[in-house]
Amino acid sequence: MNIKVIIENLYDKIKIIEDNGQLANYIPELTRVNSESFGIHISTVEGLNFGVGNCYEQFSIQSIVKVLSLIISYRILGEDLWKRVKVEPSGTAFNSLVQLEVENGIPRNPFINAGALVIADILLTHLDNPEKDFLDFVKNLSHSREISYSSHIAESEKKAGFRNAALCNLIKSFGNIENDPSDVLDFYFNLCSLEMSCEELSNLFLFLANDGFTLKENTQILTRSQTKRINALMQTCGFYDESGEFAFKVGLPGKSGVGGGIVAVHPKQYAIAVWSPKLNSKGNSYKGMKFLEEFTTETELSIF
C-alpha cells in the first residue's frame, strides 16, 4: 500500500467536490480565510512525513487546542483531574449550557467548551506563565518555532463570547472555577486562537500514536495508560455531537475545531491532520470528514 499515492488521489478527488459547508461566522475573524483552502499532512511512527495542498499554511486550530490543554493538565493533576471534569460524551452542542445546570457545574467532558474552561482554569492555577509555558510545550512537541496565538482572533472571539462567559460564570457559581472568570475566559480565547499548520499538527499529535513517547527524542509525554485515555476521549467526544458519526465513518480517535481543522490518530501507526475551513451543520470540516472517511476506507486501517 502506498500511503502517499492514496493521499494524493483522494486530495485530487475531494478538492473538486461541491462543498456544502459554511465558514464559522460566529467568530467574525474566522471568516477572513480562503474558504477553498485544503491541506493534508501525515506523520507516521515509521518516520514518513508527507503532505499535500495547503498543508504548510497556518490556520486557527480552535478546539483542537482542547486536547493539548487537557494533556498538560493531566500531567499536572494525574487522575485527580477527573474530579473536575467527567469523561462522558455530551450529545449536545459544544457550547451548550443545559447539562451544566443539572450536573452541578461538572462538565461532561474536557472537549465541550464548559470542560475546556475548567481545564483552562487548572492551567491558570498551576502554570507559572500560562501563555508562555503552554506555547513552549506546543513548540517543542511540534518541532516548530513559528507557532503563536492570534490576538485578532482572540479579540474577535472575546467580543462575541457571551455564551462562553455564561458557561464560565455558571461553573464558577458551582465552585468549579478557582480563578476570576474574566481571566479564565481571556486565557481560553488565547488558547483557541493558536495558529498551526497541518504539518505542525500531525508532528505534534504523533506521540499519541506512539504510546505517549515522542518519535524523535523518545521523550515520554504521557504514560501508556494516560495516552490510551486521551485517545479514548477523542474517540468518544472529539466531534461535538457528531462523535458517533465520526467513529462510524472514520473509526479513529480525533479532534476537530471550528477553524476547519481535524486531527486523527491511529495508535501505533500515524497522526494525520486535515484542514478545509467550511463546516457541516455540526461544526466539523465538511471536506475534512469526507477525506478521512475515504482515507480509512482505502487504507482499510482503523482501530476497529
Cβ contacts of 204 within 8 Å, gap of 6 or more: 68, 138, 141, 142, 196, 271
The least distance separating ligand GLU from the CB of residue 94, rounded to whole angstroms, comes to: 5
265 vs 142: CA distance, rounded Å:
15
177 vs 97: CA distance, rounded Å:
15
Whether the Cβ atoms of residue 204 and residue 248 lie closer than 8 Å to each other: no
The residue among 162 and 304 lying less far from ligand GLU, judged by its C-beta, is 162
The residue among 245 and 298 lying less far from ligand GLU, judged by its C-beta, is 245
Q: What angle do CA 222, 205, 124 make, to 5 degrees?
A: 60
Q: Which residues are identified as catalytic?
A: 63, 66, 188, 240, 258
Q: What angle do CA 212, 56, 140 make, to 5 degrees?
A: 35
287 vs 292: CA distance, rounded Å:
9
Instruction: At 57, list the grid cell.
Output: 499554511
271 closest CA partner among 146, 141, 144? 141
The least distance separating ligand GLU from the CB of residue 5, rounded to whole angstroms, comes to: 32
The least distance separating ligand GLU from the CB of residue 28, rounded to whole angstroms, comes to: 13
Q: Which residues bind ligand GLU (CB under 6 A)?
A: 62-63, 94-95, 113, 157, 164, 192, 257-258
The residue among 44 and 96 lying less far from ligand GLU, judged by its C-beta, is 96
The residue among 177 and 192 lying less far from ligand GLU, judged by its C-beta, is 192
- The 8-class DSSP code of residue 83 comes to G
The residue among 107 and 212 lying less far from ligand GLU, judged by its C-beta, is 107
The least distance separating ligand GLU from the CB of residue 105, rounded to whole angstroms, comes to: 18
Cβ contacts of 230 within 8 Å, gap of 6 or more: 67, 70, 71, 74, 208, 222
The least distance separating ligand GLU from the CB of residue 69, rounded to whole angstroms, comes to: 12
